[in-house]
Amino acid sequence: DIQMTQSPSVLSASVGDTVTITCRASQPINDFLAWHQQKPGKAPKFLIHRAIFLKTGVPPRFSGSASGTEFTLTISSLQPDDFATYYCQHYDGSSPYTFGQGTKLEIK
Amino acid sequence: EVQLVESGGGLVQPGGSLRLSCAASGFILSEHYMDWVRQAPGKGLEWVGRTRNRAQNYITEYAASVNGRFTVSRDDSKSSLYLQMNSLKIEDTAIYYCVVWMSMVGSWGQGTLVTVSS
């Protein structure tokens, strides 16, 4: 099974900051990497697919990158609405379609 | 607009069964992969199972933790996805979400809570 290792577990930042979350796959996943955002008590929301492509309607301050088996989610100029938990997920190819452990982005 | 509405959650005893439903609208169900994902209280997201689309013969895939106990199915004529859960364990307690993948872009339902307890 492919393991997804996400870091950090918790990230403290201020409004206006730029932050980066990293996700590493235990083997190549052909960039079948998604990022999801979840706020407390709410269903997750889909942000990015194929590692770098934003879902329609997602603000451009969100961006994704890929280098081999390492993937990053960058949020520029943090807004109050961005404080949430973020998950990466390997979503195609071979199951199980594993999620990372999650990164809680909290206000400093 | 894509919409997914889960239902069927509730309280069930260990060893019992439950069937969850996901009503889909805004797209043609047969054309897309559908997943079930769950989240135990205070925990992260866990992929549970998938049914691929008609073009891929509706192949189903499961997480090891539910394989042999849970069954994913669909009724395209009713635009509905199902999760039949048998031999339920306390550790199956979670919010269960359905997810549609459309050209590799996902959309989530709002979830339904399943509580397994005596």
- Report, as an integer, the average pLDDT of B3-29: 98
B47 touches chain A (CB under 8 A): yes
**Residue B112: pLDDT above 90?**
yes
- Report, as an integer, the average pLDDT of B50-74: 97
A43:B97 CB<8 A? yes
B110 touches chain A (CB under 8 A): yes
Number of alpha carbons in the 13 Å side-chain half-sphere of residue B82? 11
- Report, as an integer, the average pLDDT of B55-69: 97
Hey, what's the torsion of the CAs at B5, B11, B13, B15, to 10 degrees? 0
Contacts with A26 (C-beta within 8 Å, 6 or more apart), sequence order: A2, A3, A4, A5, A69
Average model confidence (pLDDT) across chain B: 97
A45:B61 CB<8 A? no
CA-based nearest residue to B14, from B80, B74, B87: B87
Contacts with A42 (C-beta within 8 Å, 6 or more apart), sequence order: none
Nearest C-alpha in A relative to B62: A96
10-residue stretch averages of pLDDT, chain A, 108 residues long = 97 98 96 97 98 97 98 97 97 93 96
- Report, as an integer, the average pLDDT of B77-81: 97
Residues of B in Cβ contact (< 8 Å) with A43: 97, 108-111
How far is A87 from A72, CA to CA, in rounded Å? 11
Nearest C-alpha in A relative to B49: A96
Pairwise pLDDT comparison (A6 vs B103), residue with the higher score: A6
Q: What is the pLDDT of residue A92?
A: 86
Nearest C-alpha in B relative to A45: B108
Sheet-wide strand order for B18-25: B3-7, B18-25, B80-85, B70-75
